[in-house]
Amino acid sequence: MNDRRHGPRTRLAQTIVVVVVVMAVGDERQQSGSSLEQGLFAAGCDDSPVVNLLPRIVGPMAGAYPAWLVGDAEWAGRNAWAKSLLIVARDAGGPLELRGHLVGGNAVLGFQKEYGAPTIDALRIADPAKVSVRPGGASPEEMAKYAFLVMSINYPAPGCWQFDVVLGSRHATIVRVVR
């Protein structure tokens, strides 16, 4: 019998849905691995506080003294790069090291210092003040207080990502929920 509920079209549609679901689950496991699945949206994962310390220069910044991150928290795809700006307090002084990992997993972020540069898992800058860019509208006083570091970040998947910032003898953590 080929009634509407159990006809060939219905069976075909059900088969297609099952195949698509199986392919999507298999593809997700193949690309992301169990560590990404564990930390995708870890319980209790909250973005770092967002402040607007420099509204004339940049948008809202996630973090707290001595480091803040400006950038999109929307996942653009596995091989996409998110242009970002790390702002550090110059009075903290010392070399900078920035790393990132998935909360509850072992996946790490990829960084590029500039477009086309090799992907690295830790951004190290001996003197952030020397490589700082000058955002439009930044006053001499603001430039004396902060260093502005442009970079690109590769988020392997959506999820709860923790940035570990070491600036001289100071340590800061920035958490971003990337959806």
Judgement on whether residues 6 and 69 belong to the same structural domain of the protein: no
Domain extent for 24: 1-34
What is the Cα–Cα distance from 52 to 124, expressed in whole angstroms? Answer: 26
Question: 61 with 100, same domain?
Answer: yes
Same domain, 155 and 91: yes
Domain membership flag for residue 42: no
Residues 66 and 22 in one domain: no
pTM of the predicted structure, to 2 decimals: 0.76
Co-location of 92 and 10 in the same domain: no
Q: Are residues 16 and 72 in the same domain?
A: no
80 & 145 share domain: yes
| Domain annotation covers residue 45 | no
- When divided into structural domains, the chain yields a total of 2
Task: Assess if residue 81 is contained within a domain.
Answer: yes
Same structural domain for residues 11 and 87?
no
Q: Cα separation of 179 and 47, whole Å?
A: 12
Domain containing 149 — which CATH number?
2.60.40
Co-location of 28 and 55 in the same domain: no
In this structure, are 95 and 166 located in the same domain? yes
Asked if residue 113 and residue 150 are part of one domain, the reply reads yes
**Alpha-carbon radius of gyration of the chain:** 21
Q: For the chain, 179 residues long, give each residue's pLDDT as a single digit of tens.
A: 544 455 554 444 343 333 333 233 334 434 444 444 444 555 578 899 999 999 999 999 999 999 999 998 889 898 899 999 999 999 999 999 999 999 999 999 999 998 889 999 999 999 999 999 999 999 999 999 999 999 999 999 999 999 999 999 999 999 999 99
Smallest CA-to-CA distance from 31 within 160, 157, 123 is with 157
Are both 29 and 82 inside the same structural domain?
no
